[in-house]
């Protein structure tokens, strides 16, 4: 068995719509004279009466409150910075319905936390509001007759992979064990995505609690088909998913070493050639069995940058060698290729909680090999990353930075269209491209960002090269980036949101991506 360290260590706010002056105009939907804290307290009191104290806990009345309030992966989203007025530890969809009905009737602020693995501050926790936690809804099961996997929203991918391994199946899910099902709502990238599309392209059925507490089941061909599609990248804006049924992929058991590959570490002297290889791979690769992910990591203050590339192939060693010829021709300092099971690959990547992390995103088109087209954008992105590190390395709070390149191959785009489409969709003829993550992670225990480092991140987002027309990846973007507007089906997404939340209740009362605001004139 290959140890996790031998494979890969993948260290991988939108302001509420309608600022106070606009909210004051919507008298039918807010009580301007009542503070958010007062409304939240009243709501929590009602929820304790209807659901009971064990399920609804406050900081002074529940033994699990602290565990729930500190359940987020990033320390910027923990109890130090956000103290929910109460936490609803839902045990089933009916509990979520009751919570949302009460929240809706009271116009209370709220947040939802599944796995809690978010780089967006405030998107999975709340101050002066109700937090709905899925800590107690964390099971998964396989239905051999339907060949599907059903998951509750509180489960994490490592848990699902482990539970499904003896059965030889797996969902198209996350590449980091600690990540939860929220990944699906952002689209989701998987080691299986080249063949199967985004993780969300593999939905079969979803149970969804709408903002008013109504529970519906959405599929690709029922009356909620538009909602079903919107949830393939629409994040937390369309409702709360309480059950995911997804396609099962037959990946084999742990004893079946169907994959081959491992981690390759390159010196900085190979960076230019390596960036070219990445650009060529995403443009030219048609083999859905080939998987590549690159992480450039710089710990502070040593600034000793390492370049790690995960190269794996769902097949033989010979096929691996044929698929990664350009990467293997570039000088590297170490490598660990070997036969792997899908279970080993999926559970080898870890990023534990306890550090504050912020994301920023870009997308770059691939570049054909053996052509006159340059890879200047890739080189410029790397240059700006190094400039950020050199300019802000004096901050004692930052632990490390990352620059991550994740391919979206043309085959993945086609798979999404073939499975009914998703709102992320770039044009079908789009060649492969790379999703870029720029990540800043603070040292363990740091709970606040450094002002100068935040200024540097703003500069990076303003100046980082980005190919027009390519979508950003929601799960790895900054809260301020207009991700929905970059989607190929942005207009569809806006129409569906207006249908299911015509008063913009979700946008007015919980944090999340912006861009779906319903014009005030339509409901006042």
- Whether residue 471 is contained in a domain is answered as yes
Distances (CA, A) of 280 to 154, 239, 264, 407: 38, 39, 18, 11
> What percentage of the chain exceeds 90 in pLDDT?
85
Q: Are residues 265 and 242 in the same domain?
A: no
Residue 374 counted as domain residue: yes
Confidence check: pLDDT of 234 > 80: yes
Inside any domain, residue 28: no
* Residue 369's pLDDT band (cuts 50, 70, 90): very high
pLDDT in tens, 79-103: 999 999 999 999 999 999 999 999 9
353 class by beta-carbon count within 10 Å (0-12 exposed, 13-18 middle, 19+ buried): middle
- 288-320 pLDDT, tens per residue? 999 999 999 999 989 999 999 999 999 999 999
Region of residue 59 (phi > 0: left; psi between -120 and 50: alpha; otherwise: beta): alpha
Closest CA to 19 of 507, 465, 346, 383: 507
Give a yes or no: residue 517 inside a domain: no
Chain position carrying tokens 């946008």 = 507
pLDDT above 50 (res 5): no
4 lies in some domain: no
Q: Are residues 73 and 178 in the same domain?
A: no
Taking each helix axis from N to C terminus, what angle separates 36-51 and 93-106, rounded to the nearest 10 degrees? 140
Is 508 domain-assigned?
no
Q: Are 281 and 309 part of one and the same domain?
A: yes
Query: Within a domain: residue 512?
Result: no
The overall average pLDDT reported for the chain is 91
Q: 434 and 305 share a domain?
A: yes
Q: Is the domain of 286 the same as that of 397? A: yes
Query: Of 111, 135, 159, which one is at a domain's C-terminal end?
Result: 135
| CATH number of the domain residue 368 falls in | 3.40.462.20
Decide if pLDDT at 401 tops 90.
yes
Any residues with CB less than 8 A from the CB of 34 and at least 6 apart, and which? Answer: none
**Token representation of residue 500:** 């299911």
User: Rounded to an integer, what distance in angstroms lies between the CA atom of residue 164 and that of residue 142?
Assistant: 7
Q: How confident is the model at residue 165 (pLDDT cuts 50, 70, 90)?
A: very high
Last residue of a domain, one of 103, 135, 167: 135
Q: Are residues 170 and 287 in the same domain?
A: no
The verdict on 361 and 276 lying in the same domain is: yes
Domain boundary among 135, 155, 178: 135
Q: Are 364 and 279 in contact (CB under 8 A)?
A: yes
Q: Is the pLDDT of residue 364 over 50?
A: yes
Confidence of residue 481 (pLDDT cuts 50, 70, 90): very high
For 513, residues 6+ apart whose C-beta sits below 8 A from its C-beta are 14, 235, 237, 474, 479, 483, 484
- Segment 399-416 shows an average pLDDT of 97
Contact 4, 348 (CB under 8 A): yes
Contacts of 401 (CB under 8 A, 6+ apart): 297, 298, 300, 385, 388, 389, 438, 439, 440, 441
Q: What is the tens place of the pLDDT at every residue in 235-288?
A: 999 999 999 999 999 999 999 999 999 999 999 999 999 999 999 999 999 899
pLDDT at res. 520: 52
**Of the candidates 141, 134, 147, 143, which has an alpha carbon nearest to the alpha carbon of residue 185?**
134
| H-helix segments, 249-316 | 271-284
| pLDDT of 393 | 73
CATH number of domain containing 154: 3.30.465.10
Domain residue limits at 321? 259-482
Count up the domains in the chain and report the number: 3
Q: Which two tokens stand for residue 45?
A: 């009191």
| Residues paired with residue 231 on neighbouring β-strands, in sequence order | none
Q: In terms of DSSP bridges, do strands 240-247 and 215-218 run parallel, antiparallel, or are they unpaired?
A: unpaired
pLDDT tens, residue by residue, 434-478: 999 999 999 998 999 999 999 999 999 999 999 999 999 999 999
**Same domain for 436 and 451:** yes
**Burial (0-12, 13-18, 19+ Cβ within 10 Å), 259:** buried
**Helix and strand tally (H, E) in the chain?**
18, 17
Query: Which residue spans within 235-321 are E strands per DSSP?
Result: 240-247, 259-266, 290-299, 306-313
pLDDT for residue 382 = 97
CATH number at residue 39: 3.30.43.10
Question: Taking residues 373-401, what's their average pLDDT?
Answer: 92
Mean pLDDT, residues 115-119 taken together: 90
Residue 457 domain-assigned? Answer: yes
The verdict on 300 and 395 lying in the same domain is yes
Please, what is the end-to-end C-alpha distance for the chain in angstroms? 62
Q: What is the mean pLDDT of residues 163-186?
A: 96
Q: What is the pLDDT of residues 11-63, one digit of tens each?
A: 332 223 223 333 333 333 344 447 999 999 999 999 999 999 999 999 988 88
Query: CA-CA distance, 508 to 41, in Å (whole number)?
Result: 18
Question: Are residues 287 and 407 part of one domain?
Answer: yes
Confidence band of 353 (pLDDT split at 50, 70, 90): confident
Q: Are residues 231 and 263 in the same domain?
A: no
pLDDT attached to residue 121:
93
- Position 350 scores a pLDDT of 79
User: Can you point out the beta strands (E) in 110-258?
Assistant: 110-113, 130-133, 140-143, 148-151, 203-209, 215-218, 240-247
**Is 131 in the same domain as 144?**
no
Q: Kindly indicate the confidence band of residue 370, based on its pLDDT and cuts at 50, 70 and 90.
A: confident
């Amino acid at each position: 068995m290959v140890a996790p360290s031998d494979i890969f260590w993948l260290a991988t706010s939108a302001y509420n719509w309608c600022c106070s002056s606009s909210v004051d105009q919507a008298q039918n939907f807010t009580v301007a004279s009542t503070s958010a804290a007062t409304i939240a307290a009243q709501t929590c009191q009602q929820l304790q009466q209807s659901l009971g104290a064990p399920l609804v806990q406050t900081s002074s009345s529940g033994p699990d409150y602290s565990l729930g309030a500190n359940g987020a992966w990033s320390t910027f989203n923990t109890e130090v910075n956000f103290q929910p007025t109460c936490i609803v530890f839902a045990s089933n969809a009916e509990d979520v319905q009751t919570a949302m009905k009460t929240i809706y009737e009271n116009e209370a602020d709220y947040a939802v936390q599944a796995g809690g693995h978010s780089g967006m501050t405030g998107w999975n926790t709340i101050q002066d509001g109700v937090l709905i936690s899925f800590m107690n809804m964390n099971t998964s099961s396989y239905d051999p007759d339907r060949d599907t996997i059903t998951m509750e929203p509180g489960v994490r991918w490592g848990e699902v992979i482990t539970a499904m391994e003896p059965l030889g199946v797996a969902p198209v899910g996350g590449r980091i064990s600690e990540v939860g099902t929220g990944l699906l709502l952002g689209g989701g990238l998987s080691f299986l995505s080249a063949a199967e599309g985004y993780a969300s392209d593999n939905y079969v059925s979803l149970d969804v609690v709408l903002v008013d507490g109504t529970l519906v089941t959405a599929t690709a061909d029922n009356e909620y088909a538009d909602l079903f599609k919107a949830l393939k990248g629409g994040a937390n804006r369309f409702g709360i998913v309480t059950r995911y049924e997804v396609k099962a992929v037959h990946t084999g058991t742990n004893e079946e070493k169907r994959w081959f590959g491992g981690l390759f570490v390159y010196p900085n002297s190979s960076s230019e050639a390596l960036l070219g290889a990445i650009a060529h791979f995403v443009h030219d690769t048609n083999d859905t069995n080939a998987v590549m992910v690159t992480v450039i990591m710089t710990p502070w203050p040593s600034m000793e940058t390492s370049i790690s590339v995960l190269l794996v192939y769902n097949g033989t060693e010979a096929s691996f060698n044929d698929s990664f010829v350009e990467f293997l021709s570039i000088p590297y300092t170490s490598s660990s290729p070997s036969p792997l099971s899908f279970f080993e690959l999926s559970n080898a990547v870890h990023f534990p909680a306890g550090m504050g992390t912020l994301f920023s995103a870009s997308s770059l088109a691939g570049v054909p090999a053996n052509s006159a087209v340059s890879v200047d954008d890739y080189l410029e992105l790397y240059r700006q990353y190094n400039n950020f590190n050199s300019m802000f390395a004096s901050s004692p709070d930052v632990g490390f930075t990352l620059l991550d390149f994740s391919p979206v191959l043309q085959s993945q785009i086609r798979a999404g269209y073939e499975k009914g489409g998703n709102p992320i969709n770039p044009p079908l003829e789009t060649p492969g491209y790379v999703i870029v993550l720029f990540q800043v992670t603070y040292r363990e225990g740091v709970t606040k960002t450094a002002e100068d480092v935040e200024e540097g991140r703003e500069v990076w987002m303003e100046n980082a090269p980005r190919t027009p027309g390519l979508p950003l990846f929601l799960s790895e973007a900054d809260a301020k980036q207009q991700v929905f507007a970059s989607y190929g089906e942005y207009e569809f997404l806006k129409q569906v949101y207006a249908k299911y939340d015509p008063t913009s209740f979700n946008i007015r009362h919980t944090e999340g991506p912006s861009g779906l605001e319903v014009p005030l004139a339509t409901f006042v």
